[in-house]
Amino acid sequence: MASVDSEEDNRGFAEKNAATFPILSDVSKQTSTAYGVLAVLGYAKRWTFYIDQHGVVSKIDKDVNPATAGENLVQNLQALGVPAAIAP
């Protein structure tokens, strides 16, 4: 996940939501600009980029709904043929 919020704000978000994934604090907005997700008002659009092991963007989901994002993420990964991780 990437956000234009500060590291402190993102840490608070992660703690509040029990996030178990890394969050990039893109305060300079360089990454958001490079990916074309920086909105006119200065925030990052909620898009999901699916990037394969070779660094190729295989899908961009521009219709992300926070309430169903996790389910949609799994469905999209399955549709792309990404194997599910097997817990030890």
Q: Residue 46 gets which letter from DSSP?
A: -
Q: Which residues pair with 24 in a beta bridge?
A: 2
Secondary structure (3-state) at 59: strand
Q: What is the pTM of this model?
A: 0.78
- Is the Cβ–Cβ distance between 23 and 17 less than 8 Å? no
Give per-residue pLDDT as tens, 17-55: 888 888 999 999 999 999 999 999 999 999 999 998 899
Element (H, E) at 40: none
Give per-residue pLDDT as tens, 3-19: 999 999 999 988 998 88
What region does 29 belong to: left with phi over 0, alpha with psi -120 to 50, or beta? left
